Amino acid sequence: MLIVRNLCASYPDGKAAINGVSLTIDDGERVALIGANGAGKSTLMRSIMGLMPAMSGSIEADGVTLTQNTAREIRKKVGIVFQNPDDQLFMTRVFDDVAFGPRNFGLPEDEVKEKVDSVLSQMNIVHLRDRVSDRLSSGEKRVAGIASVLVMRPATLLLDEPSSFLDPRARRTLIKTLLSLPHAMLIATHDLGFARRLCSRVIVLQNGQISAEGTPDEILGDEKKLEDYGL
């Protein structure tokens, strides 16, 4: 379970980015985070991962509260898939990219191999195991990026614009893949159809604050309201 309480965070120039955001994501729940550009979606995700210091408020994942000392522990419980898969895949081969996390946590190489092969199989990308990361298609890179996070067995996944760069087929495949995962997810997206297919709850972020929350039908079904939210 991920709990964010009254979180406030600002950009390095001091401008407020997140202003009093509170949200809870239950185990296995998939929540969409929508909002116009600059609404604070990516900043909220970076704050949850401890990449941006919070000015006030708290973040708790599976009973562990985020502090400077627990950031590493939180990153085991919460995994983030960044918007651009090229930022996520930086090793030469897919195997090494997926193995990067487990190796950092000091697992023996045999266990690393077992975990990597297991997650590649779960994501149906065993054939990409020894491929050069640079030479994958956007869809393959996206799935490999997700695998590189899933291998660490997080309870919660944060996905930043997961459907960007994808063609319709890769997008459909991604939806199917995400639906098959039991993880709790917070999905920041501009792709409202994607949010509707995947999520049972939608949160609207506007100027760093939550301005609406409800089921996909309640939030996405009213075009007038979406306009008001800047969408």
Partner 1 sequence: MRRPDSAFSAFKPERVSGLKALELMAEGDTVIHRVHTFVKLTATIVYVVVVISFGRYDIGGLLPYFLYPAILTPLSDTPWRAVWRRLLPALPFPLLGGVSNIIFDKAPMIMIGGVALTGGVISFASIMIKALLSVWAVLLLVATTGVSELSRQLSALGVPDAAIVQFNLTYRYLAVLADEARAMYESYILRSADIRGIRVRDMGAFVGTLLLRSIDRAERVYAAMKCRGFSGSYLAPAHGARGKIGAPDLLCLFAVCAAIIILRCLS
Query: By the criterion CB under 8 A, which residues form the site for partner 1?
Result: 46, 49, 51, 72, 75-76, 79-80, 82, 84, 86-88, 90-92, 96, 99-101, 103-105, 109, 132, 134, 148-149, 152
Q: How far is the CB of 105 from partner 1 (least distance, A)?
A: 5
Q: How far is the CB of 45 from partner 1 (least distance, A)?
A: 10
Q: How far is the CB of 24 from partner 1 (least distance, A)?
A: 21
Q: How far is the CB of 156 from partner 1 (least distance, A)?
A: 13
Residue 25 to residue 48: CA distance in whole angstroms: 12
Beta bridge pairs of residue 202: 32, 214
Q: How far is the CB of 88 from partner 1 (least distance, A)?
A: 5
Query: Given the complex with partner 1, which of 99 and 188 has the nearer CB atom?
Result: 99
Query: Given the complex with partner 1, which of 45 and 198 has the nearer CB atom?
Result: 45
Reading phi first (left if > 0) and then psi (alpha if -120 to 50, else beta), residue 19 is in: beta
Name the packing angle between helices 94-104 and 138-150 (round to 10°). 20
Residue 15 to residue 204: CA distance in whole angstroms: 20
Query: Given the complex with partner 1, which of 76 and 196 has the nearer CB atom?
Result: 76
Query: Exposure of 130 by Cβ count < 10 A (0-12 exposed, 13-18 middle, 19+ buried)?
Result: exposed
Query: Given the complex with partner 1, which of 15 and 169 has the nearer CB atom?
Result: 15
Query: Given the complex with partner 1, which of 150 and 205 has the nearer CB atom?
Result: 150
Query: Given the complex with partner 1, which of 62 and 86 has the nearer CB atom?
Result: 86
Q: What sign does the dihedral 202-176-221-231 (CA atoms) show?
A: positive
Contact, 184 vs 157, CB < 8 A? yes
Residue 28 to residue 25: CA distance in whole angstroms: 8
Cβ neighbours of residue 158 under 8 Å, at least 6 residues apart? Answer: 45, 48, 49, 78, 79, 80, 81, 185, 186, 188
Q: How far is the CB of 120 from partner 1 (least distance, A)?
A: 16
